[in-house]
């Protein structure tokens, strides 16, 4: 097992990784930008190294500085968390080239799954259902129009190196294609340094269902059930729950088996998540995330497993000592992402936190690196906390969530807590009747 792990991230995920390491007897190294010098993970780590100024490109995306910090402190391994460099295969190669262990899947697997066109082809070749669309990158507007006619409008243009909703455009008719195609390419080039895009049939009312997997280097793999991540705004997840209220036991079992079969066939190892769109009883492969997910705590809540601990063990070359029959799914869990944003306009609201009081009680968990008096910088993602609750039933979890949201006090900045309080009172959400487009309609009606 590792003696020292450098955590190449910030905020709540850095703190989450630190806690897992500490419970495993592993020392931690925190890296931080100048504005994060007083961050909680920096205060708690065994060692801390400043890696640059406030801008992410000069700090948390600065590969050379992070490698230097790891070598200087004698770290055995680097954990990238999620976001930043977590799915950067070149950085994973650098880590391994310098004699350290990358806590994640092999770089070549990150590359395969990071190219959405190649991942789609791979999934299709191993029997996973995919949304009808182009199997190669679409290079010209003329080709894009031909795909639109072949698939039937509406269609969606997606960045091949995409993520986070960037480089995506819905096209409802041929006349819109030229502008949408150009915008998608430009956005993809700006966000990912790669302007390749592909085209799929646009699904009108799908749900976003993902399956958490664990796999070791010796061919063993299991799934930890599904998460429903359909509550999204601008393709960004807002609230997640498990199990999905849209699936029955037979669908759940079939989906899990299909994903484990796929993971074993492609030779994937480590923690990962296979994502699907689900509509009219049919699952369609979307992508595979080769990293820890923001929403992993709800899976931990219903399985009792520490996913970060398992990820570290797997990266250290240990066997997956859990079999599928060992996994017990207990009750339901829901996560709310609390962002430092105006709950009506969604404009980011950085600043200094005044009062900070997190909810407590049975089966209530708050993952956050914030505290009273700390600063929420404007340089990074606006997530300030994740509120995770569980219950013996979905209704029990929902009642607990309402109570917990009412207890949560964050002063000095605006947050999205009021939005979550409205969502959990909505009849559609209570009944589990929502899809990936529902939240934006809910927000528009709320503004109206």
Tokens 């030229």 locate to 178
Instruction: Say which of 291, 337, 365, 400 is annotated catalytic.
Output: 291
**Bond from prior residue into 243 cis (ω within 30 degrees of 0):** yes
Q: Are 279 and 206 in contact (CB under 8 A)?
A: yes
- What CA–CA distance (Å, rounded) separates 262 from 391? 31
- What CA–CA distance (Å, rounded) separates 253 from 211? 11
List all residues 6 or more positions away from 246 whose beta carbon is below 8 Å from its beta carbon.
207, 209, 228, 278, 432
Helices 141-151/177-192 angle, 10° precision: 110
Structure tokens that stand for 445 in this block: 């009606």
Kindly state the helix (H) or strand (E) to which residue 33 belongs, with its residue range: strand 27-33
For residue 326, the tally of other CB atoms under 10 A from its CB is 10
Q: Is position 365 annotated as part of the catalytic site?
A: no
- What CA–CA distance (Å, rounded) separates 289 from 86? 10
Q: Are 164 and 82 in contact (CB under 8 A)?
A: no
Q: How far is CA 392 from CA 124, 149, 228, 296, 334, in A?
A: 37, 49, 18, 19, 12
What is the 8-class DSSP label of residue 203?
A: P
Query: Which residues are known to be catalytic?
Result: 291
């Amino acid at each position: 097992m590792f003696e020292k792990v450098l955590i190449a991230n910030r905020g709540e995920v850095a703190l989450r990784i630190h806690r897992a390491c500490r419970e495993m007897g592993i020392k931690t190294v925190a890296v931080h930008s100048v504005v994060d010098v007083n961050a909680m993970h920096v205060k708690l780590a065994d060692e801390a190294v400043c890696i640059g100024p406030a801008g992410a490109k000069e700090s948390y995306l600065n590969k050379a500085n992070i490698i230097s910090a790891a070598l200087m402190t004698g770290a055995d391994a680097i954990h990238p968390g999620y976001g930043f460099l977590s799915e950067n295969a070149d950085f994973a190669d650098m880590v391994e080239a310098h004699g350290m262990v990358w806590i994640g899947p092999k770089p070549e697997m990150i590359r395969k799954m990071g190219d959405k066109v190649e991942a789609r082809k791979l999934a299709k070749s191993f029997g996973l259902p995919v949304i009808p669309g182009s199997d190669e990158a679409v290079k010209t507007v003329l080709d894009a129009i031909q795909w639109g006619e072949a698939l039937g409008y509406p269609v969606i243009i997606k960045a091949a190196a995409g993520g986070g909703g960037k480089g995506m455009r819905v096209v409802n008719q041929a006349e819109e294609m030229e502008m949408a195609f150009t915008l998608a390419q430009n956005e993809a080039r700006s966000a990912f340094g790669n302007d390749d895009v592909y085209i799929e049939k646009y699904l009108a009312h799908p749900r976003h269902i993902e399956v958490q997997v664990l796999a070791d280097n010796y061919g063993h793999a299991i799934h930890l059930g599904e998460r429903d991540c359909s509550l999204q705004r601008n393709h960004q997840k807002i609230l997640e729950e498990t199990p999905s209220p849209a699936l029955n036991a037979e669908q759940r079992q079939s989906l899990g088996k299909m994903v484990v079969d796929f993971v074993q066939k492609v030779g994937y190892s480590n923690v990962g998540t296979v994502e699907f769109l689900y509509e009219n009883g049919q699952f369609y492969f979307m992508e595979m995330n080769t990293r820890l997910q923001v929403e992993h705590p709800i899976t931990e809540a219903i399985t009792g497993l520490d996913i970060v601990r398992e990820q570290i063990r797997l990266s250290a070359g240990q066997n997956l000592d859990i079999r599928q029959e060992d996994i017990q799914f207990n009750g339901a869990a829901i996560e709310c992402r609390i962002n430092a944003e105006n709950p009506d306009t969604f404009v980011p609201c950085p600043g200094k936190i005044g009062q900070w009081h997190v909810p407590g009680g049975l089966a209530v968990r708050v993952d956050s690196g914030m505290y009273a008096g700390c600063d929420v910088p404007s340089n990074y993602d606006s997530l300030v906390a994740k509120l995770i609750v569980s219950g013996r039933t979905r209704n029990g979890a929902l009642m607990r969530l309402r109570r917990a949201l009412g207890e949560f006090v964050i002063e000095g900045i605006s947050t999205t807590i009021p939005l979550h309080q409205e969502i959990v009172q909505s009849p559609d959400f209570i009944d589990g009747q929502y899809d990936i487009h529902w939240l934006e309609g809910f927000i528009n009606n709320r503004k109206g």
